[in-house]
Amino acid sequence: MSVALPAFTEHGRGGTAVLLLHGIGGGQAMWADDASGTARALAAAGYRAVAIDLPGYGASASLGSPSMQTLVDGVAAVMEALHAERTVLLGHSMGGMVAQELLACGGPAAARVDALVLACTSAAFGKADGAWQAQFVAERLAPLDAGLGMAGMARRLVPAMVSPAARPLALQVSIDIMSRVPEATYRSALRSIAAFDRREHLAALRVSTLMLAAEHDRTAPPDVMRRMAVRVPGAEFVCLADAGHIANVEQPEAFNAAVIDFLQRHVPA
């Protein structure tokens, strides 16, 4: 079955394509110059940066209610369209889960992945009993259920996701981007990732992997990512200081430098 091609923007023309996968409250704008600047930094280092609007986000068609499978199918469709010599998946938060799911599913798309950068993410959503997930989803949806809309929810949620030293501009950019996410997309995506659990697949990851954590991240704490790194053969672990969950926007220079250093050593442009 053919899948509608998600919207994406390319920067650079290197033989190695780095697909930038955003989080649940994001979009490809998270990688733009006024946010993290990651796309331009990768292009300057000789890579082909591909910032994607996952299905249901930004300029991409919704394809019905977003699910982990529709998100994976969207990324696979972009990979097929690019015909890149080498492919890296860089996933932030939910985007990191999508990257893990794509590799766990196997098939032609998984075989094309040469390296993996998992930023501020985890291998499972919460605890195994399901109660934690239900509470988390209810708390996240409460502002929407109260009629605040995505903008109101973003103003309430984002300040709790960043570090104490977050710059006002980083805070505002993150709020603006989350505010533009369609409410239906956010609701469906949240319920989809609540069931995510690929912990048992970590040991089967056979590509060069960077686990990129943030010191003040309470959503995907550094200790969680450090334990993930231990389970992935040969994985590297880096923790960014003075950053919270939206580390790519809070500390863009450090974030981009860590990514490019890893790529230059494992998947040269």
DSSP string, 93-111: THHHHHHHHHHHH-HHHHH
Predicted confidence at residue 57, as pLDDT, reads 95
Mean pLDDT of 123-147: 82
Cα separation of 207 and 123, whole Å? 16
What is the DSSP track for 203-222? GG--SEEEEEEETT-SSS-H
Cα separation of 9 and 12, whole Å? 10
Domains belonging to the chain, first-starting first, are: 8-266 (3.40.50.1820)
Q: Which of 266, 250, 239, 31 is nearest to 119 (CA)?
A: 239
pTM of the predicted protein model? 0.95
pLDDT tens-digit map of 3-48? 789 999 999 998 999 999 999 999 999 999 999 999 999 999 999 9
Q: How confident is the model at residue 1 (pLDDT cuts 50, 70, 90)?
A: very low
Mean pLDDT of all residues belonging to the chain: 94
Q: Sign of torsion, CA 143 145 150 152?
A: negative
Predicted confidence at residue 102, as pLDDT, reads 97
Does residue 128 surpass a pLDDT of 60?
no
pLDDT tens-digit map of 73-102? 999 999 999 999 999 999 999 999 999 999
Helices 183-193 and 94-105: crossing angle in degrees, nearest 10, is: 60
